[in-house]
A and B are shown apart, each in its own frame.
Chain A
Amino acid sequence: MEEFFFVSITLAIDTSTSRTSVAIVDEGALLWHGFRDGATSHGSAVPALVSEALNRAPIIEQVVVGMGPGPFTGLRIGIAFARTFALARLIPVIGVCSLDAIASQVHEKDDFIVATDARRREVYWAQYRAGVRVEGPHVDLPSVLVERGLPVFGEGAVKYSIAQNDEDQFPDMVALVNLAQDSDFQIDEPLYIRRPDAVPTSERVK
């Protein structure tokens, strides 16, 4: 049986793309949103933005965090922060797929694809039908998406010039929080998709 309860003030964090996004969402409404762009600035951006967010809403009742897929280091920063913040406040932390929160902004009747930058000339992607994920997430070369002949949205699509338009590239923070209310969309572990590069430090160039 599903327990339904309404959590009002949510701290939402996403670090799955080059944009670090932090928001306060109150009963489905965006109370505050701050973001910083930069693929290597998640580490300082998350605490700086959360500090600002706490000035607006000192009492937080739950944390929602984007679980990717996304470049590993940035992704982990958001998840690690979200988990310990929730531990400190004794509140729940819920993870959801970040691509779903991008797809929620796309108003396409037919199938479409959301793609984010996976670096190494690849994209993380998933396919949606009427806003619902029907395939993925996967990681592939952009050419794999072109072959599908569907409209593609997201940062990865823009980067590799296969985008429908250059809007709606990043996760929508209200959508992220809404997804988290449905247990079908809750994810416990980061969506890495790729296996780690198994190169020991001793083999690396110093």
Chain B
Amino acid sequence: MKSEPLVLGIETSCDETAVGIVRGRTLLANVIASSVEEHALFGGVVPEIASRAHLESILVVLDAALKESKISLNDIDAVAVTAGPGLVGALLVGVSSASGLALGLGKPLYGVNHLAAHVSVDLLTHDEPVVPVIALLVSGGHSSLLQIDDITSSVVKLGESIDDAAGEAFDKIARVMGLGFPGGPAIDHEARLGNARAVDFPRGLTQSGDWQTRPFDFSFSGLKTAVARYLESTPKFIRADVAASFQEAIVDVLLLKALAACKKTGIDTLVIAGGVAANSRLRTLAAERCQAAKIRLRVPPAGLCTDNGAMVASLGSLMVASGRSPSQVDLEADSSLPVTSVSLN
């Protein structure tokens, strides 16, 4: 089996059309086109607009990635694509584009899990392939704590959000505060000038009973309600303070549970991945707390945390290198693919 496979990865599960190319664990190209500005007008991702944009952009993005990588399409060893989870119409554009490429080239096709790909992108910037790891996966659609013994085959879910995803909470609070969409970067920016201790917002599922029954699950809906209520009852609220306090509450609970998972399992490496991993406060606080707890922390650079093609290519490359069999060429996208299914047959 090739140790440094050349893999092209396609990602279209939400609103970014992305193509990445990696050789082994070396990133050769990472090109992203986003339709986020069209969605911002509606305050959220509009599936049909996203799907149309994917079809409009995919060839342009593919072409740009090939130019950036300086490779020829014929040289690739495999095509990888996000097969789920995500918006079904959006996923189908990527999967069809990938199967067209794979059949056209006569190369194997790997339909992979978007969430596992978020974690695997870490390997492009960190040398040692440390396993097992605890992964905190936080994005607009997901908040999960995972135990990963082998990213190509063994992902165990320790817990997840029972209501909103972390990124979703950011979006909703940003909307209530009039900060626009997407909410994550807006709140991160606003919070820089605020006092994180100004308001003591609730930390969901951290009561003593919760640590017995749902130690690794998250809940952000109570926090959302608390912020909305605070804004209503405090006409002269200081926007930056509210943003900072809200952000602190989310980041605090994410790290409390992630470190508890490390302690419980005895695993001393934590990977934080997904779009919310780009949040500056999460990165800073994670570094502080991991150092104190003697946990090795690995967070991909912010640019690789949000959805991209390099993460799909990197997981594809690992699949090829570890001898996993490719997907059927007529694989079906699965919009609700569970995080424990790393790839599709």
Residue B45, interface by CB 8 Å: yes
Q: Is the CB of B44 within 8 A of A76?
A: no
With A44-B331, A44-B332 in contact, is A202–B89 under 8 Å at CB?
A: no
Q: Is the CB of A196 within 8 A of B49?
A: yes
Q: Is the CB of B44 within 8 A of A201?
A: yes
With A44-B330, A192-B52 in contact, is A87–B59 under 8 Å at CB?
A: yes
Q: Is the CB of B101 within 8 A of A198?
A: no
Q: Which A residues lie within 8 Å of B96 (CB)?
A: 43, 46-47, 76-78, 80-81, 84
Partner of A79 from the list B49, B55, B104, B333 (CB cut-off 8 Å) is: B55
Residue A51, interface by CB 8 Å: yes
- Cβ of A55 to closest chain B Cβ, rounded Å: 12
Cα A86 to Cα B42 with chains together (Å): 35
Q: Which B residues lie within 8 Å of A46 (CB)?
A: 96, 99, 330
Q: Mark A163-206, 1 if CB is under 8 A from B, else 0.
A: 00000000000000000000000000010100011111111000
Q: Is the CB of B103 within 8 A of A54?
A: yes
Q: Is the CB of A198 within 8 A of B49?
A: yes
Cα A83 to Cα B7 with chains together (Å): 20
Q: Is the CB of B97 within 8 A of A47?
A: no
Q: Which B residues lie within 8 Å of A160 (CB)?
A: none
Residue A72, interface by CB 8 Å: yes
Q: Is the CB of A85 within 8 A of B104?
A: yes
- Cβ of A13 to closest chain B Cβ, rounded Å: 10
Partner of B97 from the list A50, A84, A200 (CB cut-off 8 Å) is: A84
Cα A77 to Cα B55 with chains together (Å): 9
Q: Is the CB of B99 within 8 A of A47?
A: yes
- B314-335 residues with Cβ-Cβ distance < 8 A to A are 329-333
Cα A66 to Cα B332 with chains together (Å): 22
Q: Which A residues lie within 8 Å of B46 (CB)?
A: 196-201
- B144-189 residues with Cβ-Cβ distance < 8 A to A are 168, 171-172
Q: Is the CB of B97 within 8 A of A80?
A: yes
Residue A1, interface by CB 8 Å: no
Q: Is the CB of B332 within 8 A of A84?
A: no
Which of the listed residues A43, A44, A51, A201 has the most CB atoms from chain B within 10 Å of its own CB? A201
Q: Is the CB of A51 within 8 A of B330?
A: yes
Q: Is the CB of B62 within 8 A of A43?
A: no
Cα A83 to Cα B59 with chains together (Å): 8
Partner of B104 from the list A43, A78, A88, A192 (CB cut-off 8 Å) is: A88
Q: Is the CB of B55 within 8 A of A203?
A: no
- Cβ of B91 to closest chain A Cβ, rounded Å: 9
Cα A47 to Cα B95 with chains together (Å): 10
Q: Which B residues lie within 8 Å of A101 (CB)?
A: none
Partner of A87 from the list B73, B88, B171, B172 (CB cut-off 8 Å) is: B73
Q: Is the CB of B43 within 8 A of A87?
A: no
Q: Which B residues lie within 8 Å of A201 (CB)?
A: 44-47, 87
- Cβ of A66 to closest chain B Cβ, rounded Å: 14
Q: Is the CB of A196 within 8 A of B97?
A: no
- Cβ of A142 to closest chain B Cβ, rounded Å: 23
Residue A132, interface by CB 8 Å: no
- B8-67 residues with Cβ-Cβ distance < 8 A to A are 39, 42-49, 51-52, 54-55, 58-59, 62
Cα A85 to Cα B42 with chains together (Å): 34
Residue B286, interface by CB 8 Å: no
Residue B93, interface by CB 8 Å: yes
Q: Which B residues lie within 8 Å of A48 (CB)?
A: 329-330
Q: Mark B79-113, 1 if CB is under 8 A from A, else 0.
A: 00000000111001101111111011100000000
Q: Is the CB of A202 within 8 A of B171?
A: yes
Cα A104 to Cα B191 with chains together (Å): 63
Residue A89, interface by CB 8 Å: yes
Which of the listed residues B49, B58, B100, B101 has the most CB atoms from chain A within 10 Å of its own CB? B100
Residue A145, interface by CB 8 Å: no
Q: Which A residues lie within 8 Å of B89 (CB)?
A: 72-73, 76
Which of the listed residues A50, A88, A89, A203 has the most CB atoms from chain B within 10 Å of its own CB? A88
Q: Which A residues lie within 8 Å of B332 (CB)?
A: 43-44
Cα A190 to Cα B53 with chains together (Å): 12
30 contacts between A and B (CB under 8 A): A47-B99, A48-B329, A50-B103, A51-B103, A72-B48, A72-B52, A73-B88, A73-B92, A76-B51, A80-B92, A81-B96, A82-B100, A84-B58, A84-B97, A84-B101, A85-B100, A85-B104, A86-B104, A87-B62, A87-B73, A87-B100, A87-B104, A196-B49, A198-B42, A198-B48, A199-B47, A200-B42, A201-B46, A202-B171, A203-B44
> Which residues of B are interface residues toward A (Cβ below 8 A)?
39, 42-49, 51-52, 54-55, 58-59, 62, 73, 87-89, 92-93, 95-101, 103-105, 168, 171-172, 329-333
7 closest cross-chain pairs (CB), A and B: A88-B104, A200-B44, A84-B100, A196-B48, A202-B44, A81-B100, A85-B100
If A77-B93, A198-B42 are given as contacts, then 16 extra A-B residue pairs at C-beta distance below 8 Å, sorted by A number, are A43-B95, A44-B331, A46-B96, A46-B99, A48-B329, A48-B330, A72-B48, A76-B54, A78-B96, A80-B97, A84-B97, A84-B100, A88-B104, A190-B55, A196-B52, A197-B48
